[in-house]
Structure 1
Amino acid sequence: MPHTLVVGVHLVLIENGRVLLGRRADTAFAARHWHAPAGHLEAGESVLAGMAREADEELGITVREEDLDLVHTLHRLDADDGAGRLQLFLAPRAYTGTITNREPDKCAALRFWPLDRLPEPIVGYTADALAQIIAGRPLSVVGWPA
């Protein structure tokens, strides 16, 4: 039987050594934790189209698909439901517009944080991926049996 994956796309927006994170509101997933702007792919959508859509929906910025670079892939086994998740972290070379919080019901705050002083609490796999990105490692796996 083929393995089925949930695919998440995460925007890694780094400016002047600081990364943009959102503090999740009282949501079912990671309430009040800091996390990269992210979402899941929709049916029939490419990874690049999904990331461009999420950047617009969540932040009000326009990112062209051709301006996105894959900077990290994290293959995660979710301990809560046993599902495999492929978390793709994409960095834009450019964007237009002004960053605004367009989903205040899901995101309580947006803020740039120094890469060497990430906030707490932070979603664990987000912190893991950012550490791997800083170290120049393009792939990591989390939660899978050794």
Structure 2
Amino acid sequence: MSAELNVIGGHLYLERDGMVLLGQRHPDSAYAGGHWHALAGHVEREPVRTCVVREAMEEAELVVAEEDLTLVHTVHLLDHEDAIPRIQLFFQAGRWQGEPRVLEKDKCLRWAWWPIDSLPEPTVPYTRAAIEGIRAGRLYTEMGWRRQK
């Protein structure tokens, strides 16, 4: 088996008063149109925390400092057999400034706070799995991988 590059996604997990912040993806999105999803973006040539801070500002005008981010869950995802593997890293912000605003209308319709035990439908499956893992105190989830015999 040869090495294969994985795409890395940085996600911001915000929780307050038993609620979690999710954005509803634009219906024309290439991935999961209409689904609810954590604030996220692909890691470019940068550290993951830098990506999360950048995306928070670009997508929702939220100010987050890298030192306030704690890795709380990792999802290793294979959407289908021919998909590029993805590593989705979820960081919780201990504090932040601002209220979420929709800044990329072609990507996100709205931001909303949802009860952590009653997520909206449809929620991106790996986002739901990560939130469930965070609630259960698990640090890692695998999705879509078939076990080799």
**TM-score in same-fold range (> 0.5):** yes
Deviations 1:111-138 (A, max 9, x none): 0000111000111111111111100000
Using the size of structure 1 for normalisation, the TM-score is: 0.95
Report the alpha carbon displacement of residue 101 of structure 1 after superposing the two structures with TM.
1.2
Q: Please give the alpha-carbon distance, in whole angstroms, between the structure 2 residues aligned to 1:144 and 1:102.
A: 35
Aligned: 1:67 with 2:68: yes
With normalisation by structure 2, the TM-score equals: 0.93
Structure 1 unaligned blocks of 5 or more: none
Q: CA–CA distance in 2 between the matches of 1:101 and 1:81?
A: 33
Q: Secondary structure at the match of 1:113?
A: strand
Deviation at 1:78, TM superposition (A): 2.0
The 3-state SS of whatever aligns with 1:70 is: strand
- Residue 19 of structure 1: how far off its partner (Å): 0.3
Code of the residue aligned with 2:56 in structure 1: it is A
CA shift for structure 1 position 28: 1.3
Partner residue in 2 for 1:113 = 114
Name the aligned partner's letter for residue 50 of structure 2. A
* Matching residue of 1:52: 53
Partner of residue 22, structure 1? 23
Superposition deviation, residue 80 in structure 1 = 6.5
In the alignment, residue 106 of structure 1 is paired with which amino acid? K
**Equivalent residue number for residue 38 of structure 1:** 40
Instruction: Report percent identity of matched pairs.
Output: 46
Task: Find the aligned partners of 1:126 and 1:81 in 2 and give their Cα distance.
Answer: 21
Amino acid at match of 1:118: L
Aligned residue in 1 for 2:135: 134
Q: Distance in 2 between matches of 1:51 and 1:97?
A: 15
Unaligned runs of 5+ in 2: none
- Look up the match of 1:88: 89
Q: CA deviation at 1:82?
A: 2.2
CA offset at residue 25 of structure 1? 0.7
2:32 and 2:120 map into 1 onto residues whose CA distance is: 14
* Paired residue type of 1:35: H
Other-structure match for 1:13: 14
